[in-house]
A and B are shown apart, each in its own frame.
Chain A
């Protein structure tokens, strides 16, 4: 995240101001958007992200399609290596290139009636930089490694405000203190001058959230924001995010592997496996009527705090290496319900119930 917030010296500021005037991107029109999908904020279509490695191409994201609606929270669940973080980095234009590249697909970002394809924007270009950290912000998993250890947290929050909102330093500082207070950091006037190492893990994550929200983003991408935290601190941060979501009216893409967190946070859920979305539905549907065998397997493999103790039903085998993915359905080698067609043909994601889609041959369909 640092690269987009690099040293906001004064000459740079003036430059940014001039550019802002000439850039039509910064002036969203007043009309309400696309009549077809009135509330869609971000639409991802057939996104493919590939990494060129020594021994071939790894398709980390392999044809992902989903929509995030304004002011809604989309939970993205999946195990390590399923491509959930890479998808988020692609939205932010942060896929490192080389070796990575967006090989195909669109990331359509709707503002008013204007639509921008983020996948086509040069990642370091002016337009992308005006969006990243401003209209779309991201919270990373490890607050210790994603904050810069040699700058105070106040400075790091002010950077975003000065850069994107063209505020004076004094004003930006006041705003940074307000944000720290907003996210529940005690004594914000003092904390603003502290360095990341002086804060506890929970406080650092709060500072990250303050930074992400400081420019009032339309979309907040939270990548495992509470995974590194203890359960009581996690509860604090989740409660904070729920409160802020109502206040700031931002859409959230919440990435996690923890089904418990998803159940409490998300409106809609997308389940990823091996670079693809295997199932997407509203949160109750996913938990009460999961359709894809992988989703069903996940539900059975977690020990429950509330249900009586029964033997877990694990998913057999391991996730295949993405560079050696099966030709048909990625889940076929581990699937208890696999059929002949699954070995050779990739099932498309299609509707199995209203608002509920799954990519599985069990629910019929053709290639």
Chain B
């Protein structure tokens, strides 16, 4: 159950920015930009799960896709330490993902894979499961013929599907099984990093638990590293070693799971955690009801993006952008008042069962 991440950093992201242009007028001039991801810093250690949470429109999916260069980042650096591309000599090779050439990028794709949210629209309905899962092997010329069939059978077995499922089509499967197919397709290349983009959000609760357990088992078995993107805090807390909270294109807080929930340092984290409905009739919490909606990422508020909804906001919050800084123990936060505020943790949380990476 407990995964032990090593100290080696697998992925290092600095200042990642993705602005989508908004074009208007007869000449389609760029009039504004949707600041979907607005300068985020994070790193992921080998073998760990970094959770990325936030509400819809906060940029978490764009962040995940920019890291894989499924969308081209506007700015920033992404360094990935590939074992496979170091060649037979062993060790790792540092790859610059943002400036990688087409060939390098294709090679990188073997090491960096993605599991999509919607198992209904992310599988080609006209391909059999065997063809879907085996396609990456063809594209990357990693296995052909009987060898390919064998690798597909093996990976289907690993995700809990049967060899006879290879000949069937996606519509013949339930949502949970389709998500297993998506996972098998991501894992068939034996990647190092898997970006899981809301992998259980479309599933019923009883199936969700099956898929979460499967992801944990696969991580242990294959030494996978996950970037786990989700909006459900309970799920993220369950699966992550460390958690990053995003708001309006920025990471506002990043810390080990225990620290984040026991000692939140950003008012948005506090509000987010307190808003989660807890399946416990007698659970009482001072629910912090945030006023209003998330502002538009086209024109985010000046200063701290959260200040119009923050109950602790002071003058400086509306003028100066807070620096994203380490408070110690790798607890990163972007808040002017992080040192002085004492925020509400979740109650009754029994401490550490997942390794605190900073301890």
A interface with B by C-beta (< 8 Å): 79-80, 200, 202-203, 230-236, 238-239, 257-264, 283-284, 287-288, 297-316, 318-319
Contacts and interface: CB of A to CB of B under 8 A. Distances in A.
B351 interface: yes
A261 B287 CA distance: 13
Nearest to A306: B348
A304 B272 CA distance: 15
A299 B176 contact: no
A234 B277 contact: yes
B281 A263 contact: yes
A230 B213 contact: no
Contact of B293 (A233, A299, A301, A318): A233
Contacts of A287: 279-281
A202 B357 CA distance: 38
Contacts of A304: 234, 238, 278-279
Given A79-B206, A301-B205, A309-B354, A231 B272 contact: yes
Contacts of B177: 318
B349 interface: yes
A298 B210 CA distance: 12
Interface string B265-282: 000000111111111111
A318 B160 CA distance: 13
B180 to A, nearest CB: 12
Q: Which of A257, A262, A288, A301 lies at the interface centre, i.e. has the most chain B CB atoms within 10 A of its CB?
A: A301
B312 interface: no
25 contacts: A230-B56, A230-B231, A231-B231, A231-B272, A231-B275, A231-B276, A235-B289, A235-B290, A257-B204, A257-B205, A260-B278, A284-B281, A287-B280, A303-B212, A304-B278, A305-B237, A307-B348, A309-B257, A310-B353, A312-B238, A314-B208, A315-B206, A315-B209, A318-B207, A319-B204
B106 interface: no
A313 B287 CA distance: 29
Contacts of B233: 231, 305
B70 interface: no
Interface size class of B (residues with CB under 8 A): 35 or more
Contacts of A262: 279
B279 A309 contact: no
B350 interface: yes
Contacts of A299: 279
Nearest to A81: B204
A308 B349 contact: yes
A302 B289 CA distance: 24
A233 B353 CA distance: 31
Nearest to A233: B293
Nearest to B240: A309
A259 B280 CA distance: 8
Contacts of A315: 206, 209
A258 B277 contact: yes
Given A304-B278, A309-B237, 12 more contacts: A231-B231, A235-B274, A239-B289, A287-B279, A297-B206, A298-B206, A302-B205, A302-B208, A302-B234, A307-B348, A310-B1, A312-B238
Interface string B229-247: 0010111011100000000
Contact of B205 (A79, A261, A264): A79
Contacts of B174: 318
Given A230-B231, A236-B289, A80 B275 contact: no
Contacts of B271: 232
B210 A260 contact: no
Given A231-B275, A305-B276, A312 B55 contact: no
B209 A238 contact: no
Contacts of B299: none
B283 interface: yes
Contact of A303 (B238, B273, B277, B354): B238
A257 B261 CA distance: 25
B142 interface: no
Contacts of B176: 318
Contacts of B282: 284
Contact of B209 (A202, A257, A258, A301): A301
Contact of A306 (B216, B239, B346, B354): B346
Contacts of A298: 205-206
B347 interface: yes
A59 B280 CA distance: 33
Closest 5 CB pairs between A and B? A260-B277, A308-B350, A303-B238, A314-B209, A301-B209
A79 to B, nearest CB: 4
A325 to B, nearest CB: 15
A302 B213 CA distance: 11
Interface string B184-222: 000000000000000000001111111011001000000
A304 B49 CA distance: 18
B8 to A, nearest CB: 24
B55 A231 contact: yes
Interface in B275-305: 275-283, 287, 289-290, 293-294
A235 B1 contact: no
B213 A314 contact: yes
A297 B206 CA distance: 8
A304 B274 CA distance: 13
B298 to A, nearest CB: 15
Contacts of A234: 275, 277
Most chain A CB within 10 A, of B277, B348, B350, is at: B277
A49 B209 CA distance: 30
Contacts of A318: 174, 176-177, 207
Nearest to B290: A232
B288 to A, nearest CB: 8
B283 A306 contact: yes
Given A236-B290, A310-B353, A305 B205 contact: no
Interface in B98-112: none
A301 B206 contact: yes
A308 B1 CA distance: 13
A226 to B, nearest CB: 9
B161 to A, nearest CB: 13
Nearest to B352: A308
Nearest to B268: A232
Contacts of A235: 274-275, 277, 287, 289-290
A284 B281 CA distance: 6
A283 B281 contact: yes
A232 B237 CA distance: 17
B293 A200 contact: yes
A287 B282 CA distance: 10
